[in-house]
Amino acid sequence: MASYGMGRKQQKVFRSISLYILLGIFSLSTLFPLIWMISTSLKSGDVIFQIPPQFLPDGLHWNNYTRAITEINFFVLFKNTLVITVLQLLANVFVSAFVAYGFARFQFPGKNIWFMLVLSTIMLPGEVTMIPVFIGFSEIGWSNSILPLVIPGFFGGAPVFIFLLRQFFLAVPKDLEESAVIDGASSFTIFCKIFLPLSIPALVTIGIFSFQGSWNDLLGPLIYLNDVDKFTLTLGLSMFKGVMKVEWGPLMAGSILALLPVLIVFFMAQKHFVEGIKLSGIKG
């Protein structure tokens, strides 16, 4: 009947439009902080906290970006951050996978006790070990260098990632391994040719977590690095947050520039990341 109004096609269109409007509203609410960050990065200092707030009240102040780049020597800090992040990423992904493979596939005395010990380090807050570890690294002359930040990872990876990858490796069928053994493959070959390729989604997920964690880490670089030209981006950006005054414009401009690599890595690896979350059951 005509009084019932819309036909099936119209109903479908109406439903789609409603869905898109709803999704649009949710997307905007999620994007709002990012949009606000971009708008703040283009405001002059005087109008940032103007009431009522305005998006771009007095033109585009690109000089916030210039200040963010020149005042904290952005590119040197970017390079320092990248070096630390990539080295930590390699240690976290490959060394953790190597250790996890050992726990998942080898039998050795006290295996469960060792694994429990590794897990127990997850429970230990970093603040508790910070000073003794700092003293230790100072004694061997590693303070004011990136060595304490990257080298430990190469001696065992990160416990959380070891745990996750061990669970993932336990699910790999033994038949694949046995076939490879019959073909004459060594344990290391099996790890490289069977376990690593099969675990790419999990490795990418761990890689993204590691990248994000290292890129945004403040405390580690703060404790170990003393010279301004060895600082990372998070330390550089903190310079805009003074005791008396916060320079919001350059701080937001610098934060956006620092955020870009994380976004790029995330979008490049997005597909595997989602797959990895499905497989490993973890998310950020």
**In the block, which residue shows the tokens 């033109």?**
59
**From the list 86, 176, 180, 259, which residue makes contact with another protein (rule: CB under 8 A)?**
86
Token readout for 104 is 């998942």
C-alpha–C-alpha distance, residues 224 and 84, integer Å: 12
Q: Is 229 in the site for another protein (CB under 8 A)?
A: yes
The residue assigned the tokens 């080898």 is 106
Nearest distance, CB of residue 163 and another protein, angstroms: 22
Q: Which of 25, 34, 122, 219 binds another protein (CB under 8 A)?
A: 219
* Interface residue with another protein, options 17, 56, 60, 268 (CB under 8 A): 268
Residue 46 lies near another protein (rule: CB under 8 A): yes
Considering beta carbons, is residue 103 or 236 the nearer one to another protein? 236
SS3 sequence of 158-202: CHHHHHHHHHHHHCCCHHHHHHHHHCCCCHHHHHHHHHHHHCHHH
CB of 146 to another protein, least distance (A): 10
Only one of the segments 27-35, 77-85, 152-160, 182-190 lies at the binding site for another protein (rule: CB under 8 A); that segment is 77-85
Q: Which of 150, 164, 202, 204 is in the footprint of another protein by CB under 8 A?
A: 204
Question: Please, which residue, 89 or 118, has the CB nearer to another protein?
Answer: 89
Within a 10 A sphere around the Cβ of 85, how many other Cβ atoms? 25
Q: Which of residues 105-164 bind another protein (CB under 8 A)?
A: 130-131, 134-135, 138, 143
**Near another protein by CB under 8 A, which window of 16-24, 35-43, 177-185, 195-203?**
195-203
Q: 144 or 187, CB closer to another protein?
A: 144
Binders of another protein in range 4-43 (CB under 8 A): none
Compute the least distance from the CB of residue 93 to another protein, in Å.
9
What minimum distance in Å lies between the beta carbon of 82 and another protein?
6
Query: Count of residues binding another protein (CB under 8 A)?
Result: 53
- Interaction site with another protein (CB under 8 A): 46, 49, 51, 67, 71-73, 75-76, 78-80, 82-83, 86-87, 89-90, 130-131, 134-135, 138, 143, 197, 200, 203-204, 218-219, 222-223, 226-229, 231, 234-236, 238-244, 247, 250, 265, 268-269, 272
